[in-house]
Amino acid sequence: MKETLRYLAGIAGPSGYGSKSTAQQVAQNCSCSVDPRRLTAIITGATSGIGVETARVMAERGVRVVIAARDLKKAAQVRDRIHKDINPNAEIMLFQIDLSSLASVKRFCSRFLALGLPLNILINNAGIFSQNLELSEDKIEMTFATNYLGHFLLTEMLMEKMIETAEQTGIQGRIINLSSVIHSWVKTDCFSFNQMLNPNKYNGTRAYAQSKVANILHAKEIARQLKARNANVTINTVHPGIVKTGIIRAHKGFVTDSLFFIASKLLKSTSQGASTTCYVALSPQAQGMSGKYFADCNESNCSALANDELVAQRLWRQTRALIRGRLKYQKPC
């Protein structure tokens, strides 16, 4: 109850921010020792919602933004709006990627790495919710393939570049996985790797929640590996909050309009939803923090399952074996 009241009132936590803080406020207040113009950030899914807001705020600060998107037309529209409304000099690069396709992720990484650019920030933002069972081109359940597997491979293939950039510049690299509080709905006996790949009985909400547990476990295990290597790169997971969308508004009527009005008092705006991502990516307060779970711009608690190091290690091994088997993949030097 106390946490709910804190959320509704927007009371700031130890970081000085809370549920009502916006991405722009967080970015403006980041008295970074690092010039943002020296930073390069890859953001997946930056063609709608909080992904757009994250890209907008980063570009406004002078960060070189790489938008990795499935729809390049939409990505170009985002770029053009930023140039027109925010920063005409913003450096924004567009690359095509389909996170549900392992081959597409591999192509994206090869093309980006071929440019020889540094990489300081990787924001694994893209995500889908599928009401009905769909399979990716790799014959894997679509939600799990997009939300987790694609970002796993993306992170794996870009890891050495991030470590190299941190070593050469002295600037700590930061990886951010987006998760959701809904991850806490998943119990241990419902978290089976093979069932997530190809479920016998599909439930859209369960599949989404399972993918969000996997995102947290991924960050936990990679944080452990990075620490073992003494690498100057961190990885954390964020819960952006439940963000307002136009979905309910598409259904007109007194009841739905009334429910939307009530719900709108509880839901976050896109700018509020992007605040935690921007905080973990840019704030000096997040320096050195790794393997953590954040909500409302403050460190928070995830479920016992999502915090289980043994489960995290097992999931990492299973995922890597799957990807190597599908792509005969080898990490770039």
Measured CA to CA in angstroms, residue 247 lies from 57, 108, 268 at distances of: 25, 31, 14
202 is catalytic: yes
**17, 148, 202, 329: which is the annotated catalytic residue?**
202
Distances (CA, A) of 313 to 5, 10, 200, 221, 297: 36, 36, 25, 6, 27
Q: Which of 62, 67, 63, 26 is nearest to 48 (CA)?
A: 67
Per the DSSP assignment, residues forming a β-bridge with 68 are 44, 95
* Total residue count of the chain as it appears in this document: 333
Sequence letter at residue 332:
P
Angstrom distances, CA of residue 169 to CA of 64, 133, 262, 314: 16, 45, 48, 33
List, as one string, the DSSP characters of 164-196: HHHHHH-PPEEEEEE--GGGGG--GGG--HHHH
Placement of tokens 């109850």 in the chain: 1
- State how far the Cα of 280 lies from the Cα of 299, in Å rounded to an integer: 10
Instruction: List active site positions.
Output: 202
